[in-house]
Amino acid sequence: MARGYLIAFAAVLLLAGLLDAATASSPLVLASFAVAAVAATASSRARAVTSWAAAGSSLGLTVATVLDPGSTGTSVPVGTAEALALTLLVLTTTRRAERWRGWSLTTATALAVVCLPVRLGWSPDSPTLVAGTVVLSAVAVAVGSALRGADAARRAAVTAVRRREREEVARELHDVVAHHVTGMVVATQAARLVATRSDARLDPTLAAIEGAGAEALAAMRRLVEVLRTDPDDRLAQDGADGDGTGERTPVPQAEDLVDLVRRFRGVTTGRVELLGDPRELADLPVDGQVALYRATQEALTNTARHAPAADLVQVEVVRHGGTVSVEITDSGAAGARRREPAGPAGGGFGLIGMRERLDALGGSLNAGPHGKGWRVSATLPHPTAGAEGQR
């Protein structure tokens, strides 16, 4: 808000300077007013190019005045407006300075402010004016540094809050979810040990449950590690790996669809088919691949829950025009009651979440009866469609 008041004050002085510049005979006075206007604009938008243009032009006008002693470099109203606009620019560049380029811009702008009295011509008041501009620049740097520190403290506080939230979620995942999944794996291992030789069909099912539980635990550990790792540190580690992707991030992609179908074959008695080419999904952005994978995972989970005796389950990757889809279809069970679309009244929150995720990516999710069974179709726009249309 304080900067807003300064900008308003600078605007008033610019208006006064404009009235004075309009009647000035020296082109340097008009140029000085132009520098003031550019500096005021640069301080409000904080653009490096505009800021350098203002500081460089001001110093150039000062040099031109020194080389032509008989000329008038500026007038008091215009010079005051330029000094205030440049001072505001010093404050802004100090607040946003990060590297040597930012600090060099601050130094050049402050030097332009200090040299402004030279354009008024030498007089007994010149030392006082120079001292005043030095103090003005120093105050601007001090205020800008204070604001910069406050900005850094605010960012650090937000980062600390986010880190605490991530650690809390990581604790909940580790203490609650991982505990129950571990219990499931141990119980399944015990069941396999006590199963008799006559239970030939039981052992593969228990083995699939054990494998799914072990994979869930591994994914949980990776997720907990991701949550407990600072995002900046993770990005740095990813950069050190050279490929920009960290092994710790549990993000399923196109090639994981084959493994998902393979695992599902172990928990169902019917035939499970994967049709089409999952590599069609490889051109999608990562969030698109994740969305289609999760939609397929949710659809297969619902099939195992609601139609465990289905004779046939098909997962098909379909490329049609500018879209790519994954369709999951089950044959249902003989005499089974046709299911209603999932909704809040009867659960199905997983598909609702998948529909929201796909909608956000410009896609869609359709679920409904198909013959005696059920079909779920997850669709996303294919990124190569736009490029092909431009050829």
pLDDT in tens, 63-76: 777 777 666 556 66
243 φ, ψ (degrees, to nearest 5): -110, 0
Q: What is the pLDDT of residue 341?
A: 46
State the Cα–Cα distance between residues 53 and 90, nearest whole angstrom: 13
Average pLDDT over residues 72-86: 71
Structure tokens given for 165: 């939230």
Q: What is the pLDDT of residue 314?
A: 94
Of 119, 68, 123, 116, the closest CA to residue 90 belongs to 116
The structural domains of the chain, with segments of one domain joined by +, span 2-122, 254-391
Output DSSP code: residue 243. S
Alpha helices in 68-125, H assignment, sequence order: 76-96, 100-115
Of 91, 87, 61, the closest CA to residue 75 belongs to 61
Q: What is the pLDDT of residue 330?
A: 93
367 φ, ψ (degrees, to nearest 5): -140, 135
Residue 142 pLDDT exceeds 80:
yes
Give the burial string for 233-263 (b: 16+ CB within 10 Å, else e).
eeeeebeeeeeeebeeeeebbbebbeebbeb
Residue 217 pLDDT exceeds 50:
yes
Average pLDDT, the chain: 74
State the Cα–Cα distance between residues 382 and 347, nearest whole angstrom: 31
Note whether 69 and 116 are within 8 A (CB).
no
Within 10 Å of residue 121's Cβ, how many Cβ atoms?
14
State the Cα–Cα distance between residues 256 and 349, nearest whole angstrom: 23
Note whether 93 and 148 are within 8 A (CB).
no
pLDDT over 90 for what percent of the chain?
A: 10
Q: Which residue has the higher pLDDT, 207 or 377?
A: 377
Residue 167 pLDDT exceeds 70:
yes
- Separation in Å, CA 221 to CA 179, 183, 215, 248, 263: 12, 15, 10, 9, 20
pLDDT-based confidence at residue 334 (cuts at 50, 70, 90): low
Place of tokens 């605010």: 154
pLDDT-based confidence at residue 94 (cuts at 50, 70, 90): confident
Q: Which residue has the higher pLDDT, 314 or 166?
A: 314
Query: Kind of pairing, strands 312-320 and 271-275?
Result: parallel
State the Cα–Cα distance between residues 149 and 146, nearest whole angstrom: 5
pLDDT-based confidence at residue 9 (cuts at 50, 70, 90): low
Q: Which CATH architecture has domain 254-391?
A: 2-Layer Sandwich (3.30)
15: left (phi over 0), alpha (psi -120 to 50) or beta: alpha
- Separation in Å, CA 42 to CA 36, 91, 312, 319: 10, 11, 67, 50
Query: Kind of pairing, strands 373-381 and 364-370?
Result: antiparallel
Of 79, 69, 93, the closest CA to residue 35 belongs to 79
Residue type, 311: D
Which of 25-39, 88-102, 293-307, 323-337 is predicted least confidently? 25-39
pLDDT-based confidence at residue 229 (cuts at 50, 70, 90): low
